[in-house]
Copies of this chain bind each other. A is one copy, B any other.
């Protein structure tokens, strides 16, 4: 339904609060109170203009505000809709535990199989060149030493949700499978261990920010959706960093879950 009793109030043009903010407040409350639920269509700009007796730019300004908050999404030619908070993909901190490498699946596919029918990888690209300085730091390498770079994109139910770029020192990648699209059962980590490098631990550094235009394209992000940037470093039992993985994830698709000891 498109706003029957949704727009009960009117705005006060004399108020200190800008008119477009008042309109946004009304709509935000309608969503918060459940008068508008995910999937519902909001009143059209024309209807909002008529109801609030304002110019079109004022209604657009209000809608833009809600879009930036991630509450609604505008669809050209169709209307403006309340965003559905899609079920998130839960990333548990034990997802790289060795037991998950045993069953022949890479971490993403193993987890994804539990919640989505269709999970996949595309845009796999493999190259060899010196890494960015921040990555070289983490690998304890000088940034003029070439490393193997594997980048790819992960899909869930056909929707892109994550891009990942792995950096692997050349001597560790010296086998063969890294140059292939499919590193084989168990993913990169299983493959690295098969080469005789026992993994001991990972560190993950998590930040959140708004996406660049390129990331918006790659992840098909709606306005108002931030991204997680997660940089994971894998260490061998000798304490040597053997891989750095730089991933960018659509934040509306993920919940990161960590387990911390108290001792």
Contact = CB atoms under 8 A, between A and B. Distances in A.
Given A68-B68, A68-B223, A262 B96 contact: yes
A208 interface: yes
Given A205-B256, A226-B251, A257-B203, A210 B263 contact: no
A258 B261 contact: no
Given A68-B68, A223-B68, A258 B93 contact: yes
Contacts of A97: 261-263
Interface string A16-47: 00000000010010000000000000000000
Contact of A209 (B57, B189, B252): B252
Interface string A94-110: 10111000000000000
Contacts of A199: 262
A258 B204 contact: yes
A72 to B, nearest CB: 12
A261 B201 contact: yes
Given A68-B68, A226-B251, A234-B262, A256 B96 contact: no
Interface residues of A, number: 48
A200 interface: yes
Contacts of A7: none
Oligomeric state, in copies: 2
Contacts of A257: 203-206
A208 B261 CA distance: 23
A202 B262 contact: yes
Q: Which of A202, A208, A223, A259 has the most CB of B within 10 A?
A: A208
Contacts of A262: 96-98, 189, 199-202, 234
A263 B223 CA distance: 39
B70 A210 contact: yes
Contact of A207 (B212, B255, B258): B255
5 contacts: A97-B261, A202-B260, A203-B258, A207-B256, A208-B226
Given A202-B260, A203-B257, A203-B258, 8 more contacts: A57-B57, A69-B213, A200-B261, A201-B259, A204-B257, A206-B206, A210-B224, A258-B258
